[in-house]
Every structure is written in structure tokens, then in C-alpha cells.
Amino acid sequence: MIQVNRLPIRILPSSRRTLVRPFVPGNESQVEHILFRIFSTPKRDRKRIVAKMHRRLEMPHDMSTAIFLRHYENIKSRIPSNMELTDIDKQFIGAYFTQQYALESTALFNPSIVEHPVQDKDGATRFIISLRAIGEGHISSITFMEGEIDSNFQITIGKNSPVIYEPERKNHIYEKNDILKKANELEMLSELNKPLFEILPERFTFGELSSAMNNQINGNIDNNRAELINAMNNIRMLALSNFTLRFDTDDITERAIYPASPSQSNGLEDARFVRFTRDDGTVTYYATFTAYDGKKIMPEMLETNDFKEFTISTLSGSAAKNKGMALFPRKVNGRYMMLGRQDNESLYIMQSDNLHFWYDYQPLLKPTYDWELTQIGNGGSPIEIEEGWLVITHGVGPVRTYSLGAALLDKNDPRKVIGRLDKPLLTPARNESSGYVPNVIYTCGAMVLDRTLVLPYAITDVVTKFATVSVDEIIKSMKKFEYF
């Protein structure tokens, strides 16, 4: 039996940690009404109300001051320029255009772990862990924490900031061929919007796209104006789902990827992060995740070098159609490779020459043992070890119980399975079966240090814990196996 060392660390959701966002009223006239009532408030009352807000909010005074002043800047253009305003006046205005959202008040789970891009501590490995957070309205987002592992595999987790900030949406540059191809894949391309791409440059901004769309619509003399607008809006929505975010804060716990596009309106689910090494030795971090708009899912990918700036892209192709996609940490035989599901039951392996388009796939593992007879999937990106590619799997068994297993793929040809555990590596204990989602142990990514598997995992979607396991024991316990 494999010895699993379960560590005492517990990461729990907190309703006190909030995303501070600008408050944007539903209609323009309401902004004017709020401002009228604000300026009707006596000066002495403004100071009292601002002081009361600072005392009530669970954050440092200088932090809440900066937030109110920042949100004042969002509304500044609606205020007469000749009006003299004190710092207190600006905070008073900004407070009325501020809202808080407890984005992890309901659940915090499904962790993924990668080595930190900055390794500056002797005798320890720094890491970043991402988590799926659920808050009001059952909306999912991605949050981050930092920690370190010492030479004795003792793990410490850094403290969380009480405040999370929204990022700035940067001026994203679009590649015409990619957008054209994605539109075609998603069946958004039509005779009405095809001419748009004839006038766009090879690389363009969202502003240039909007201008070109308006020119096409305004220049239309046919009777199908409504259909034309709808066709253009399809391209607009696709562009809005491919964008770049930038955080100003230096504290990673003050950053979260909150739904920021039409495809993500109901949440971002289960990000699987991987430290990807390119052919030239440079490193980029990718994460595959599922975007949900309330009706349909869309596989998407984010890319970052520093966890401060993130580029988000939709994934396309006949193979990019299900949940749980996980990218290999480097190209294999000159091609990108990915794990994922195609049929809601089995685990598949995919290959591509382009990170954003996936067509080539074949089955890899199917449900076999009693603890995975309902379905099988991955528990994060494959991990390269001496013997091959170590894949943490999840299996669904009786009473919809989720357990974790492991498989080993051939290093030179990962389409070949060379080993597999016939018993779960981790399964819910009796005292781990009750929670937000009962009978579930789940992970979105682990890592190996010095032949030790460092495995963060969530229990019943309520608490995240850590375990360490000897890689040698895992490999020794595997049955030699090959499917398909």
C-alpha cells in the first residue's frame, strides 16, 4: 500500500476576503441622480460618512482611501471641471461608486500548483497555488496564494490580503487569421460579416474592430440591417472573449481572474496551470480552464510570464469541446500535447501545431476499476519524471465518489500507457465525505520535487489540503498497462 503523508494545512473559504469593484449603475440617468444627491449632502456629513466607512471596512485605512479615490476617477468626467473638491469629497463620491463582492464566501477548492517564477530563497522552493473560488450568485473565479516547501517537505502558505483588486483591461492585439479561423470554427462566420475581414489589417485592436464594424453597418443599404448587426455582434463577442488583463498590485493574493467576457459571465472553472518550457529554454505559464456563460461551456486558456499580466484566449477545433483540458509542460516530438475528455467518460490525448486549435485526438484511458467506472479524467498537467509522464487522474465511482489515481505514459510517445494504479491514491475518508459537494477529492495540478509528489487537493469543495507521496512508491505500485 502506498504511504500518503497528509499534511495538517487547511485552506478554507472566507467571506471576509472581498473583491472591490467599481459600482456601475444600470442606466445613465441613475448616475446623474446619485451625483445630485451626493452634492446635496452637507460638507460636514461627508466627512463623518467617509470616516464611518473607513472604520467599518475590514481593510487598512490607506487601502480603502486608495480604492475610493480610484473609483472617483471613474466618475470624474461626469462632474463639472470647475467644481472644487477636497480629498474627502472625492472619497465620498468614490465610496458611492464602489461595491464589494465576497468571491470565495461559498467555496474555495480545486487547487493547481506550479513553481514560482522567482526562486530567491535558499533551501526552499517557492510555489504559486491557484484555486477555484465561488461566491455570490454561484459565480466561479480564479484566486492565487503563495507558499514554499523546505528541504524536509514542510509546506508553509502565505497570508491572504483582505482585499482583491480587479485588473486593468489592456489594449489587446488581435491576429486576423486567428479570429477568422475561430469565427469559422464556432459557426459565427457568414456572408454578412465576412467582408469585415477584408478591410481589417493583419493585426488590429478592439477599437479598430469596432470602427470597421460601424463602417460596415452604416454603409449598408440593403434591407437586412438587423441581421447584419447580429452577425457583427457575433464577431464582437468573440473578440471580447480574447483579451489581456494587467494587475498593478505586487501582492499576488490581491489578484483574481474574475469573469470578464461574455463567454465567462457565469464563471471560470478549474484552471489547470502548467510551467511550460519552450524549445529555446524560455518559460511561460499556461492554464486551461472552462468558461461558462450559463448555457454552454467553452474551453479557454490564459498565458502569463509573471502572474501580473494575463492573456486570455478561446480554444477552438473539434477536440476542444469538453472540460478538463491539461497541457503538457513542453512540446513532444515537435508538437503541443494535451489531455482532456471527448465523451464525458474516458481520458483522451490530443496533439496540435497551434496552441489555440485542436483537432487530432485519440483515446488514452477508459474507466476500468471499481472506483472509476462512471468516468475518468485528469488531475492536472502531466509531470515529466525519469520513467515517463506521470499523470494524476481522477475517477468517479459509486455514489458519485471522486478519487485520485495515477498513470504513467511513455516519455517519447505519450499516447502509450505503460503503467497505471489499480487502486486509488487518495479517496475520501469517512470524515471527509460531507460538505458542499459530498464524496469528492479533486485536484487540478501537482508537482514533483526530488522524487516526491507534492499534491494539493480539495475535499468536498470546502477545504484544500496537501499530501506528499514518494514517486518511487507510486511507480512500484503500478500495474504494467497499455490501452488501445
Say yes or no to pLDDT of 38 above 90: yes
Question: How crowded is residue 199: how many other Cβ atoms within 10 Å of its Cβ?
Answer: 12
Long-range CB contacts (< 8 A, 24+ apart) of 232-238? Answer: 232/192, 232/193, 232/196, 234/183, 234/188, 234/193, 235/179, 235/183, 235/188, 235/193, 235/196, 235/209, 236/209, 236/210, 237/262, 237/263, 238/179, 238/182, 238/183, 238/186, 238/188, 238/314
For residue 483, being part of any structural domain is answered with no
- Last residue in a domain, options 187, 206, 240: 240
What pLDDT was estimated at residue 243?
94
Residues 396 and 457 in one domain: yes
Q: Provide the phi-psi class of 482: left if phi over 0, else alpha when psi is between -120 and 50, else beta.
A: beta
- Last residue in a domain, options 240, 269, 295: 240
- Last residue in a domain, options 215, 240, 265: 240
pLDDT in tens, 381-396: 999 999 999 999 999 9
Question: Residue 89: enclosing H or E segment and its boundaries?
Answer: helix 87-96
Confidence of residue 484 (pLDDT cuts 50, 70, 90): very low
> Count of domains in the chain?
3
Domain with 449 in it: 4-13+103-168+242-477
For residue 482, being part of any structural domain is answered with no
Residues 228 and 345 in one domain: no
Q: Provide the phi-psi class of 154: left if phi over 0, else alpha when psi is between -120 and 50, else beta.
A: beta
Residues 206 and 158 in one domain: no
Say yes or no to pLDDT of 482 above 70: no
Question: Parallel, antiparallel, or unpaired for β 163-165 and 18-22?
Answer: parallel
Residues 323 and 410 in one domain: yes
What pLDDT was estimated at residue 435?
83
Residues 96 and 207 in one domain: no
Residues 408 and 294 in one domain: yes
For residue 484, being part of any structural domain is answered with no
Of 30-39, 393-402, 429-438, the least confident: 429-438
- Over range 333-348, report the average pLDDT: 95
Q: The CATH number of the domain where 470 resides is what?
A: 2.115.10.20
pLDDT in tens, 311-331: 999 999 999 988 899 999 999
Of 260, 20, 59, 258, which is closest to residue 144 (Cα–Cα)? 258
pLDDT in tens, 368-380: 999 999 999 999 9
Residues 96 and 146 in one domain: no
Question: What cell was used for 170?
Answer: 489592456
Of 255, 330, 270, which is closest to residue 457 (Cα–Cα)? 270
For residue 376, being part of any structural domain is answered with yes
Say yes or no to pLDDT of 211 above 60: yes
Of 24-28, 207-211, 366-370, 465-469, the least confident: 24-28
Contact, 285 vs 122, CB < 8 A?
no
For residue 47, being part of any structural domain is answered with yes
Confidence of residue 223 (pLDDT cuts 50, 70, 90): low
- Over range 23-44, report the average pLDDT: 90
Q: What is the pTM assigned to this prediction?
A: 0.92
For residue 227, being part of any structural domain is answered with yes
What pLDDT was estimated at residue 480?
82
Average pLDDT across the chain, whole number: 93
367-401 burial, b for 16+ CB within 10 Å, e for fewer?
A: bebebbebbbbbbbbbbbbebbbbbbbbbbbeeeb
Of 250, 307, 252, which is closest to residue 275 (Cα–Cα)? 307
- Over range 253-259, report the average pLDDT: 95
For residue 192, being part of any structural domain is answered with yes
What pLDDT was estimated at residue 323?
86
- Over range 386-412, report the average pLDDT: 97
Q: Provide the phi-psi class of 54: left if phi over 0, else alpha when psi is between -120 and 50, else beta.
A: alpha
For residue 275, being part of any structural domain is answered with yes
Residues 386 and 468 in one domain: yes
Contact, 439 vs 374, CB < 8 A?
no
Q: Quote the percentage of the chain above a pLDDT of 90.
A: 82
Residues 233 and 138 in one domain: no
pLDDT in tens, 141-180: 999 999 999 999 999 999 999 999 889 888 899 999 999 9
Q: Quick one: how far is CA 408 from the chain centroid? A: 27
Contact, 16 vs 58, CB < 8 A?
yes
Residues 227 and 368 in one domain: no
- Over range 332-352, report the average pLDDT: 96
Residues 43 and 125 in one domain: no
Contact, 89 vs 75, CB < 8 A?
no
Residues 380 and 364 in one domain: yes
